[in-house]
Each structure stands twice: as C-alpha cells, then as structure tokens.
C-alpha cells in the first residue's frame, strides 16, 4: 500500500499551512498503522539482542546499550494489549527521546515519514478518547493512522504498565 506525502508549497513561498506541518514516522504493528512525531525519533535500527531485567513494567522486554546509554526495549504489543509474538530479527527498534526519557519501541515495520497539518490530525473518537496513548487519528486514503503520545509510551520510574 502506498502512502503519499502532503505537499503545500505555492509559487516557491511557504504557505501558512506549510509552516504548521509536522512530520511523523509511520509504522506498523500487525495490520494497524501508527504515527510518532519525527522530532522525537532519533533513529530506527534492526532488532538486536537485549538484556532481560527483573521487576520492570510488563511492557519492558529488557534493555540495550545505545552509545553508552542504557535504554529500555518496549513492546508496544504488550502495552496495547495486542496478541504477543516473540521479537524477531526482522523487527525494528524505533529509538525515541522525549525530554530526558529514551526508549526503543519494537515495531514490525517502518513505512514512511509523512507530513500532516493539525487539521488533518483529528481528535480520537469518544470511544477511545480515554486512551492515554492515542492523541489523534489521520485518515490517509483507505488507511487509518493512530497518532501516539510518545511521552506516555515511555515508562517512568514509578510506572508499572
């Protein structure tokens, strides 16, 4: 399935809409598509071996060392209550940093980087508005992309998810 990028540039001058565009990394877990703000994604890397740590939130599979920093590996499947499967070498780790918190989210595939205006990112429907992880949704052709709150996805010191 092909995703397209919104372009909003007229006569070589940025329009008001261009100034409000925000870039998102689009990724997939099973058949559901999600988005995270690009400015918080440091990089995407192939799955690597991680060290299991006792007494951590259920969504934390373990930790990895990235450039001397110990980073939790977070299973979004577990966090979202989806069917689990063991991590595979073809999986991708999205390394995300928000404020001083860093995490590595396990995803099936990174699909694209897209731009959306605030108007394109609709608030979540009432039935899912209580979700602490979903901040909005974007309809892209026949595809619904859930925009995630990456800060809430990262476990805190006292968080037991």
Q: Where are the domains of the chain?
A: 32-149
Which DSSP symbol is given to 122? B
Task: Look over the chain and give the mean of its residue pLDDT values, rounded to a whole number.
Answer: 85
d(CA 125, CA 82): 20
- For the cut 50, the answer to whether the pLDDT of residue 6 exceeds it is no
Model pTM? 0.81
Q: How high is the pLDDT of residue 140?
A: 86
Work out the angle at residue 74's Cα, subtended by the Cα atoms of residues 71 and 79, and round it to the nearest 5 degrees.
Answer: 150
Share of the chain above pLDDT 90, in %: 64
For 119-138, what is the mean pLDDT?
83
The more confidently predicted of residues 119 and 8 is 119
Which DSSP symbol is given to 3? -
* CATH tag, 32-149: 2.40.50.180
Measure CA of the first residue to CA of the last residue in the chain; give whole Å.
33
83-110, pLDDT tens digit by residue? 989 999 999 999 999 988 999 999 999 9
């Amino acid at each position: 399935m092909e995703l397209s990028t919104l372009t909003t540039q007229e006569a070589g001058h940025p329009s008001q809409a261009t100034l409000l565009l925000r870039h998102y990394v689009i990724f997939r877990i099973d058949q559901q598509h999600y988005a995270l703000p690009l400015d918080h994604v440091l990089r995407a890397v192939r799955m690597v071996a991680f060290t299991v740590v006792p007494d951590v939130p259920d969504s934390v599979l373990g930790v990895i060392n990235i450039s001397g920093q110990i980073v939790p590996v977070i299973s979004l499947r577990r966090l979202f209550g989806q069917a689990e499967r063991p991590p595979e070498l073809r999986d991708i780790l999205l390394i995300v940093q928000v404020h001083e918190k860093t995490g590595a989210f396990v995803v099936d595939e990174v699909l694209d980087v897209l731009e959306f205006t605030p108007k394109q990112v609709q608030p979540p429907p009432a039935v899912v508005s209580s979700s602490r992880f979903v901040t909005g949704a974007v309809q892209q052709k026949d595809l619904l992309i859930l925009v995630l709150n990456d800060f809430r996805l990262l476990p805190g010191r006292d968080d037991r998810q």
